[in-house]
Structure 1
Amino acid sequence: MSTQPVALVTGANKGIGLETVRRLVEAGFRVHLGARDKQRGRAAADAVGAHFLELDVTSDASVRRAAELVEQADGHLDVLVNNAGITGPVRDPHDYTADDMSDVVQTNVVGYVRLIHAFLPLLDKSGDPRIVNVSSGLGSFALFHDPDRIESRAGTPLYAASKAAINMLTVRFARLLPHIRVNAADPGLTATDLSGDTGHSVHDGTDAIVAFALSAPGGPTGAFADRAGDLSW
């Protein structure tokens, strides 16, 4: 069993997930890099000194198997970073379908709950367990109603709704699991595939995620923040 702190980051073969893995490895964590694609996942893990974990957040069987492998390797989990997500289609509002919404929710919301459920027993074995849910300011009602914020003008309804759901899941789990610090991190507009390479660097986009992951015992729980600080819900 490893004596290092142990983290798992989902959707981590590129972009924000991969940068989060890299920074946690640099901080001294043993990191499981979760990804669906074996070839890309292994290459990414090798590049940053992490351990590849085949993981499809939409599959009960895949997530259960991943939890079994982490238990066998480490016996506990200190930090779970729920990052895997999709934007869904961008369409004329007349053309959005229930299937479009279902696809987004299955990955962005149900996937987070699936991971939390599967890994709670391992988090319970940590002396300082933390869950970081990667959310977005697009899920904030307050920011949507602020005309000076980009969140009032950008974002699809499907993706934004999924992130609003994640925000509520975060505060509810934080209250129901007082022994685990559960927080929501907004990367902001970050230059990745999902944003069409528009925005700040992935390093800047992971600042809030890493801050929550590395926060000392007694740190915040039930919080929502970006790299500049707390955000309005």
Structure 2
Amino acid sequence: MKIAVIGGTGLIGSQVVEKLAAAGHEAVPHALSTGVDVLTGEGLAQAVAGAETVLNLTNSPTFDDASPAFFRTSMDNILAESSEAGVGHAVILSIVGVDLVPDLDYYRAKTLQEDILKAGPIPYSVVRATQFMEFMQPTLAMTTEGATVRLPSTPVQPIAARDVADAVAGVAAGAPLNGTLNIAGPDVLPLDELGRITLAAHPDGRAVVTDETAGMFAAAPDEALLAPPDARIAPTRYRDWLTWPQG
């Protein structure tokens, strides 16, 4: 099966391409670096030509109120070119609970992306993942002031990027779900506690202080970011992931 992986050079995309290729598929990565621009449409027609499935893993460069325009334009362009090329399956990666946090610009933008896909002309699949374990360090950095990290006690259920890539590759190689697969890690922890666990494993002089107003996840209602009952639970635990070589 030929699968066009738009955004195929990033954290998830590069692993998905590797996994699909190992399974015998022709997985072709596309990105700005390969001449494909999802905003202008440059290179898209060539990227999706002959593909049975188009997997869109591109992301907005910002998390603010500019993000909806990115997802609207990119989805419109990808779906138009994919439909013209006769693609039979369109897949995106989204976020568990994305429609439950309307106070976040980025979450509203990702909900818009899902809605555009569902209303489009191509059979589709949405994979919703919880927060990536790999994003914990950037999350800590966003709320660091000197030696203090301020984090809310919002419950989260982090998942390893490797487990996300496994799920996304499986969906991309299968029949359209015309629905959503939720995936999550096995551990449910308050975000502030997750920060303490992280810094205990990799101490750098910082300490976590609980602040229910700090950072973007403070806007999430209780349990909005946790796996729903029908979710597929991935195997990697956060404390085990912390022992892996990073970088």
Structure 1 partner of 2:196: none
Structure 2 partner of 1:44: none
Q: 2:59 aligns with which of 72, 85, 96?
A: 85
Matches within 5 A, 1:10-21: 10-21=6-17
Structure 2, unmatched stretches of 5+, are 141-157, 185-228, 232-247
CA distance change for structure 1 residues 116 and 13 in 2, over 3 Å: closer, same or farther?
A: same
Structure 2 partner of 1:151: none
Supply the AA of the counterpart residue of 2:127: A
Alignment RMSD (CA, Å): 2.8
* In structure 2, C-alpha distance between the alignment counterparts of 1:215 and 1:70, rounded to whole Å: 18
Q: 1:169 aligns with which of 91, 116, 132?
A: 116
Structure 1 partner of 2:4: 8
Supply the AA of the counterpart residue of 1:215: G
Structure 1 partner of 2:132: 190
* In structure 1, C-alpha distance between the alignment counterparts of 2:137 and 2:26, rounded to whole Å: 29
CA distance change for structure 1 residues 8 and 193 in 2, over 3 Å: closer, same or farther?
A: farther
* In structure 2, C-alpha distance between the alignment counterparts of 1:230 and 1:57, rounded to whole Å: 32
Structure 2 partner of 1:150: none
In the alignment, is residue 55 of structure 1 matched against residue 19 of structure 2? Answer: no
Q: Which has the higher helix share?
A: 1
1:68 Cα deviation from its structure 2 partner: 2.8
CA distance change for structure 1 residues 172 and 208 in 2, over 3 Å: closer, same or farther?
A: farther
Preserved contact between residue 188 and residue 205 of structure 1 (Cα < 8 Å):
no
Structure 2 partner of 1:227: 183
Structure 2 partner of 1:211: 170
Preserved contact between residue 99 and residue 108 of structure 2 (Cα < 8 Å):
no
Preserved contact between residue 48 and residue 54 of structure 2 (Cα < 8 Å):
no
Aligned residues: 170
* In structure 2, C-alpha distance between the alignment counterparts of 1:67 and 1:118, rounded to whole Å: 6
Matches within 5 A, 1:68-107: 68=46, 71=49, 76-86=50-60, 88-89=62-63, 100-102=64-66, 104-107=67-70
1:230 Cα deviation from its structure 2 partner: 4.7
CA distance change for structure 1 residues 227 and 57 in 2, over 3 Å: closer, same or farther?
A: same
In the alignment, is residue 32 of structure 1 matched against residue 28 of structure 2? Answer: yes
